[in-house]
Every structure is written in C-alpha cells, then in structure tokens.
Structure 1
Amino acid sequence: MLVLTRRINESIKIGDDIEITILSVSGDQIKIGIEAPKYIEIHRKEVYLDIQNENNQASQTSINLLKQLNLNFKKTR
C-alpha cells in the first residue's frame, strides 16, 4: 500500500485520467473529490462488495437454473 500525505485542496493523480482531491478534514472524517472518466465505476468499498455479492448470487442462480432445466429435459426424452 502506498501512503501519501496531502493537505486540503491538494491532489493525487492516478494515471492520466484520475485525480483525487482532499476537500476537507473534520475530526476523523475526510471528504475527497474524485475526477475520473464516466466509464470508470467509483463506489464505496462496502457498496462494491454488495454489488459483487449480488452478481455472484445471480450467476449461481443462473447455473442452478440451467442444471434444473437440463435435468427436466433429460426426463422428458
């Protein structure tokens, strides 16, 4: 992990397209602004993990459904 120190209104660049700016610091909270192209998804980590979990569940449902359809197809033949 890279650790950097920044002050309010200072930025960090990630590649050519992403810029993270420190907007404010209040107690133990920091507000950051992120500028990135629209095709790059930006989520809080807990939201990202929820999305991943939902996608995994959806893919498992599809696999289970296909297995059940295959069994039903074999029974009708």
Structure 2
Amino acid sequence: MLILSRKAGETIWIGEDVEIIISEVKGEQVKIGIRAPRNIDIIRGELRQDISTSNTESVVKNLSLFTNENNRKQ
C-alpha cells in the first residue's frame, strides 16, 4: 500500500487516465474529486462491501430453495 500526504488542491495520478484531486480537508474529513474515463467503475468501499454481502446472501437463499425443491421431488 502506498500512503501519500496531500494538501487541498494537490493531485495524485493513477496510470495515465485517473486523477485524484484533494478538494478540501476539514478535521478528519477529506473531500476528493476523481477524473477517470467513463468505462472505469468508481464505488465507495462500504457500498462495495454491502453489495458483496447482499450478493452472497442471495446466492445462499437461492441454493437453499433449489435444494428444498430437489428434496421434495425425490
């Protein structure tokens, strides 16, 4: 993991296409802007975790329904 110190108005580049702009720093909160091509998905970490958890729960429920249907047919 690379850790950088930046001030408001400074930037970080990821590759040739993605620019991270530090917009504002207030206490423990940092506002950032991201310039990236439209084909790059950008999602907050906590939402990614929620989606992953939700998808896992959905698969488990669907498997359980499938298993219950197979047990009834036998």
- The TM-score normalised by the length of structure 1 is 0.79
CA distance, structure 2, for counterparts of residue 50 and residue 59 of structure 1: 14
5+ residue gaps, structure 1, are none
Q: Following TM superposition, by how much is the alpha carbon of 1:43 offset from its aligned partner in structure 2, in angstroms?
A: 2.6
Q: Following TM superposition, by how much is the alpha carbon of 1:6 offset from its aligned partner in structure 2, in angstroms?
A: 1.6
Instruction: Give secondary structure in 1 for the equivalent of 2:41.
Output: coil
Q: Does 1:30 align with 2:30?
A: yes
Matches within 5 A, 1:16-27: 16-27=16-27
Amino acid corresponding to residue 53 of structure 1 in structure 2? T
Q: Following TM superposition, by how much is the alpha carbon of 1:4 offset from its aligned partner in structure 2, in angstroms?
A: 1.0
User: How many residues are paired up?
Assistant: 74
Amino acid corresponding to residue 17 of structure 2 in structure 1? D
Structure 1 consecutive aligned stretches of length 4 or more whose deviation exceeds 4 Å: none
5+ residue gaps, structure 2, are none
1:63 aligned residue = 63
